[in-house]
Structure 1
Amino acid sequence: MSSYISRNPDILGGTACFVGTRVPIKTLFDYLESVSSLDEFLEDFPTVTSDAAVGVIIEARDSLLKDETAP
């Protein structure tokens, strides 16, 4: 279980959000997809810490690459 992501049916209908916020994880990826910087995202969403944003990116990378790194 991620220490950066929470899902609560009472918060945004269970959308994956950064823990302790109402900021959807998808918003981070939308920013990055639109070529905005991580710093811009963090500036626009001050309730999200840099550690949390980077942690989510690392978890996504690890999840996508887990089969490629298996022996």
Structure 2
Amino acid sequence: MYVLEGSTLGGQVIARQLAKANIPARAYFSGHAEQTGPLWKTFVGLLTQAATPANADAIVASASLTFQRLHAWLEQAQP
């Protein structure tokens, strides 16, 4: 969830750059629009509550695995 929810923050940056370039096709990157920041803070708060020393390694490993799987998926999609 960290990887996916965090990507909405990056999407906001991309959407702003597209807007500056006057490129209208940016809805995909807008994510939760004005709610992106508050929703991210809520998510981080919940993650902080759920994270313990006992599960910290599993949390990091799952985030890393998510990035690896997304990378593999994108590699497959290339012609």
CA radius of gyration, larger in:
2
Structure whose residues are more often strand by fraction: 1
Instruction: Point out which structure has higher relative CO (alpha carbons under 8 A, 6+ apart).
Output: 2
TM-score normalized with structure 2 length: 0.29
